[in-house]
Amino acid sequence: MKIVEDTAPVLTALDRPNSYIGRSVPRPNLARLTQGRAQYVSDVVLPRMAYVAFVRSPHAHAKIVSIDAAAAQQAPGVVAVVTGAELARIITPWVGVLTHLKGIKSAPQHAIAVDRACWVGEAVCAVIARTRAEAEDGCELVHVEYEELPAVTDPETALDASTPVIHPTLGDNLTFERSLSAGDPEKGFAEADATIETTFVFGRHTGVTNEPRAVVADWNPGEQRMTVYQGTQAPHMMQNLFAKHLGLAEHQVRVVTKDVGGSFGIKVHTYADEMATVALSKLLRRPIKFVADRIESFVTDIHARDHRVKARIGVKNDGTITAFEIDDLTGIGPYSVYPRTSGIEANQIVNLVGSPYTCMNYKARTRVVFQNKNVMCQYRAVGHPIAVAVTEGLVELAAAKIGMDPLELRRRNLFPDDSYPAQTAAGLKLEKLSHHEALAHLDAMVNYAGLRAEQERLRKQGIYRGLGFASFIEVTNPSAAFYGVGGAKISAQDGATVKLDAQGMISIHSGVTEQGQGAEAVLAQCVATSFGVPIERIRVVTGDTDNTPYGGGTWASRAAGIGGEAAWQAGKALRQNVLTVAGSILQAKPETLDIRNGLVVDQDGGNERISLEEVARIAYFRPDTLPSGIRAEFVATRHYVPRAWPFSFTNGIQASYLEVDTDSGFVKLLKHWCVEDCGTIINPQLVDEQVRGGVVQGIGAALFEQCVYDQRGQLLNGNMADYLVPMAVEMPDIEVGHVVSPTADSELGAKGAGEAGTAGAPGSVMNAINDALRPLGAASLTDMPFTPDKILRALGKV
């Protein structure tokens, strides 16, 4: 029995008498999900609603010569057939660039391709019909004549003079480039006793949310208002973009996000087909629904990673790391994705390589190039899995080369726990991390010495087990430094409004969104604690631009740390407002009173004075009995944005223990551990489950997941039978441990926890495989995913 009952702690970190901070209270809305009573966008049905399906380009790069829609227009149930040129009169194109990514460039992207398709899967025509099936039937009757153009599909040659330029107006296929040199890398490498140089490759993969992307757009010409039901992570960002490109004011657009069937960064971007659906609703003056099918998801949901990193580390015989160097290359799609751009992952890699370590000699270059493949953008843990695997791969290769224990080499180079505030070679500002405490904790959790002994013993029996580690830092709680400074209307702040109703119940309206991670539970815990009511009295509203304060939504592990703090502060403000009225009723000074467990009590002694219901009754129904100067303000709103630090970095370390079958090349994962430090832990169970889910996503990248393209830009495995995702039987149990270093930037002290698992898992699995095979003299495996054929090749067996 692993289910632990939540019990109230005696005293909590935040020291409120009825605190919920640090408790594993269940999420408030789970019964709806377990009973099949959720409402995902794919479940939404509106009166007069029609369905859109898209004709999509079968070519990676082709001129659209003509579109013959006559037969489709006559097909049963078809309402309309709309081409890109027709839709362009309703919705303007966009360009995915940000000013703080110096030099980044992209071309205008249309909701539906006009004249030219630039990747396999780009929509070239829309068919709208009474049912999805009829819309798909209609698509089959649309005849598109294409003239195939040469496709750019190899990042290594994308910048060669002989390679065609995808967007001639841009001059070349270079999207973005960044170079960095810190300290004295040349001197660092000159001082090294050993230098290890290798190339790491990271497969292009995607999010595979269980619910595909879905949107229902409802333009009401009578109200001149657009309501969009969308499974998105950022409703206010989408409100801004729909308004901007449809020529509407933001107050004419309402975005409603109900239950979302998985996001992971997939659902925080602008998708051409979703923009088209919204424009089609305006054009056709009725609700239009689009739900991607799985095949469409594979060719249109953003892809991620797909990096080739040449990397080098210098190390002295005493274990001191003397320098890091990387040369990164990534091939994105034909457009930089709007509005977050497709340059951020590469930028993050430059920022994050070497970041756990004190070594200040660092040289980096990254180049992002266009290709005729599906677009790439930010997916869970953006850049981290790559930067961590490169850094930690180099560290363990260096340890092997100089014959030092890999944990000992880390101990000699990690930022000391008492060295903060500190700054990394790339210039990241670190408030307070705990690498050494986390490593010590992990060492004990895994029984390091015991596992090494077991490994040694089994090797003698021909069983090859490996243990690999990955230390990491994670970007969370981003300030405006992430997107706002670059000109994107993506809010870094978030707000919460809390209300006391006439029966003494509390509602919270928050700008962050629930994607299943438990944001609504965290918000309820924060307000229950700071205001002072049992959590059952709280109702949380998220995901509605008409009914929540303006906010950024859920991404970059910000919901708890930023949205939670805003809710915490709003709860405190409402408590003061209520105590002012209660004091007036009780003829007591408000500062002598408190609200605990739903009752107004004496600050000293805790004696009950009056119930919240009674305060609410008097304030709402008999305000005539209150003194004339007293107004009951039973709604409070607070906003929060981190100000002292651009990002709240967290840290941690993971370990993977696995066995490699040297005959078949299969990897069996035996156990995985993660120790992380996300500051104040508001809900331990939710943090652990974020870590576990994230770890498995990272394992998928390490062992299974890859979007395989051929040279002509065709995706060869765009379905769930051929694109492998982690299923239960291959996954290990995952133990999670914690170190707690709160941020002083907020009262709660909470940092993010959503991406730590994904950040560290691929690197630790890679290191474990190499650790397992090292005694066999196998070549180091650095090309993810580590499929059986690659392992057998490394062993020289095929």
Give residues in contact with other proteins (CB under 8 A). Answer: 1-3, 26-27, 30-40, 42-43, 45, 131, 133, 207-212, 259-264, 291, 293-294, 515-518, 685-686, 689, 692-697, 719-721, 725-731, 733-734, 757
Strands (E), 110-186: 116-117, 123-129, 143-148, 174-182
Three-state DSSP at 279 gives: helix
Smallest separation, CB 180 to other proteins (Å): 34
With respect to other proteins, which residue has the nearer C-beta, 173 or 277? 277
Characterize the bridge pairing of strands 538-542 and 506-510.
parallel
Dist. CA 520–CA 172, nearest whole Å: 46
Give the residues across from 595 on adjacent strands.
600
Do the beta carbons of residue 142 and residue 55 sit within 8 Å? yes
* 588's tokens: 């007591």
With respect to other proteins, which residue has the nearer C-beta, 260 or 560? 260
With respect to other proteins, which residue has the nearer C-beta, 37 or 187? 37
> How many Cβ atoms sit within 10 Å of the Cβ of residue 627?
8
Smallest separation, CB 683 to other proteins (Å): 9
With respect to other proteins, which residue has the nearer C-beta, 33 or 444? 33
Characterize the bridge pairing of strands 321-331 and 303-315.
antiparallel
Smallest separation, CB 695 to other proteins (Å): 6
With respect to other proteins, which residue has the nearer C-beta, 515 or 530? 515
H/E stretch holding 314 = strand 303-315
With respect to other proteins, which residue has the nearer C-beta, 339 or 543? 543
Do the beta carbons of residue 675 and residue 739 sit within 8 Å? yes
Do the beta carbons of residue 108 and residue 134 sit within 8 Å? no
Give the residues across from 140 on adjacent strands.
none
Smallest separation, CB 582 to other proteins (Å): 35
With respect to other proteins, which residue has the nearer C-beta, 29 or 361? 29
Smallest separation, CB 78 to other proteins (Å): 16
Smallest separation, CB 522 to other proteins (Å): 12
Smallest separation, CB 720 to other proteins (Å): 4
With respect to other proteins, which residue has the nearer C-beta, 32 or 63? 32
With respect to other proteins, which residue has the nearer C-beta, 644 or 716? 716
With respect to other proteins, which residue has the nearer C-beta, 250 or 730? 730
Strands (E), 562-666: 593-596, 599-602, 608-611, 635-640, 648-660
Candidates 719, 94, 698; CA nearest to 375 is: 94
Smallest separation, CB 726 to other proteins (Å): 8
Smallest separation, CB 208 to other proteins (Å): 6
Give the residues across from 127 on adjacent strands.
53, 81
CA distances from 619 to 581, 585, 609, 625 (A): 8, 10, 16, 9
**Can you say whether residue 103 is alpha, beta or left, with left for phi > 0 and alpha for psi between -120 and 50 degrees?**
left
With respect to other proteins, which residue has the nearer C-beta, 249 or 728? 728
* 510's tokens: 């928050």
Smallest separation, CB 297 to other proteins (Å): 9
Smallest separation, CB 736 to other proteins (Å): 9
Characterize the bridge pairing of strands 123-129 and 50-56.
antiparallel
Smallest separation, CB 374 to other proteins (Å): 18
Give the type of residue at 776: L
Dist. CA 776–CA 773, nearest whole Å: 5
Do the beta carbons of residue 601 and residue 608 sit within 8 Å? yes
* 290's tokens: 């689009």
Smallest separation, CB 428 to other proteins (Å): 28
With respect to other proteins, which residue has the nearer C-beta, 77 or 93? 77
> How many Cβ atoms sit within 10 Å of the Cβ of residue 87?
22
Q: Which residues of 29-56 are buried (b: 16+ CB within 10 A; e: fewer)?
A: beeeeeeeebebbbebeeeebbbbbbbb
Three-state DSSP at 454 gives: helix
Residue 597 DSSP one-character state: T
Question: Helix H segments across 332-472?
Answer: 344-352, 384-402, 406-411, 435-446, 448-459
With respect to other proteins, which residue has the nearer C-beta, 294 or 499? 294
